[in-house]
Amino acid sequence: MNMHTPRPIPRYHEIAQECALFETAHAQGLPLLLKGPTGCGKTRFVEHMAARLDRPLYTVACHDDLSAADLIGRYLLKGGDTHWVDGPLTRAVREGGICYLDEIVEARKDVTVVLHPLTDNRRMLMIDRTGEELVAPPGFMLVASYNPGYQNVLKRLKPSTRQRFLSASFDFPNPEPESAIVAQESGLDASRVRPLVRLAGHIRALSGMDLEEGVSTRLLIYTASLIHRGMPIESALEAAIIEPLTDEEDIKQALRDLIATIYG
């Protein structure tokens, strides 16, 4: 007899009842839109909830060239024969899984057209190439995310699309929970993590002025992991914070000066 073994649940620190929102949306078959800066935990949250609900998860990193066919599927030639191959969205619908579209505003406009019938009472995916009309079973859920700070006139989620989703805003945690998250993920002692989190707070205050975006919790975990494995603090900060944040030499130096005030 085949026994189903639930997969491990990735760690996630709940901030504001977002887990309850996700569970309710999933139970009701409602789509969910996550808004927040890069590296604040949106993807980890979706991974956590998919494992917690024991649903298959298909994650798609959206980009300028992502088309509806990339999500739905296409015919491929194999051994002289043509075979239909489902895309990740179609697989999620067939299996009653979760399809997560990360940075949905980066995708081409034909993608959102395909999503509309899945985000209303029809819950239907239409596959023109095969003539199928798939009705999403219980368990299927569409989740999308984007970073509002990167929106512009050319890449903006239309109100007609946004209003098809429930929505939740994400941000970086407050210092104490963020310190706990970074310590847990990296293995670095909490007393050594706190100055990193304090530094991140100062850098985030600069975002939108000197920097396009502040340091993410993800980068703090990278930094703490390097320090935990014996890398000197200055080298870890250079590799995991300064270099990823900017290419501008004057801004790099300003960050080094800021670091000196925290670690000096």
Tokens 């998860």 — which residue? 57
The model's pLDDT over 68-84, given as tens digits with 9 standing for 90+, comes to 999 999 989 887 788 99
Residue 26, SS3 per DSSP: helix
Q: How confident is the prediction for the chain on average, in pLDDT?
A: 90
Please give the residue that has the higher pLDDT: either 16 or 237: 237
Predicted confidence at residue 156, as pLDDT, reads: 77
CB-CB contact of 99 with 87 (8 Å):
no
Q: Is the predicted pLDDT of residue 157 greater than 50, yes or no?
A: yes
Both tokens of residue 94?
Answer: 């067939």
Q: Is the pLDDT of residue 208 over 70?
A: no
- Of 74, 72, 67, 115, whose CA–CA distance to 90 is shortest? 72
> Amino acid letter at 100?
Y
Q: Tell me the pLDDT band of 152, cut-offs 50, 70 and 90.
A: low
User: Strands across the sheet with 57-61, in order?
Assistant: 57-61, 98-102, 141-146, 32-35, 166-169
**Type of residue numbered 188:** L
- List the domain boundaries for the chain: 18-169, 175-263
pLDDT of 214 higher than 70: yes
**For the residues 205-216, what does the mean pLDDT come to?**
76
Q: Does residue 205 carry a pLDDT above 90?
A: no
Under CATH, which number does the domain 18-169 receive?
Answer: 3.40.50.300
The confidence score (pLDDT) of residue 44 equals: 94
pLDDT at residue 1, rounded to an integer: 39
Average pLDDT score over residue span 161-170: 93
List pLDDT tens digits, range 92-109: 999 999 999 999 998 888
Q: Tens of pLDDT along 27-84?
A: 999 999 999 988 889 999 999 999 999 999 999 999 989 999 999 999 898 877 889 9
Whether residue 158 is predicted with pLDDT greater than 50 in this model: the reply is: yes
The overall pTM is greater than 0.75: yes
Over residues 181-193, the mean pLDDT reads 95
Which whole-number Å values give the CA distances from 255 to 75, 194, 214, in the listed order?
Answer: 51, 18, 11
The answer to whether residue 217 scores a pLDDT higher than 70 is yes
Q: What is the mean pLDDT of residues 169-182?
A: 93
Which residues, other chains included, contact 73 with Cβ-Cβ below 8 Å and sequence gap of 6+? 84, 85, 86, 87, 90, 127, 129
Compute φ and ψ for 99, nearest 5 degrees. Answer: -110, 120
The confidence score (pLDDT) of residue 38 equals 87
* pLDDT band, very low/low/confident/very high, at 8 (cuts 50, 70, 90): confident
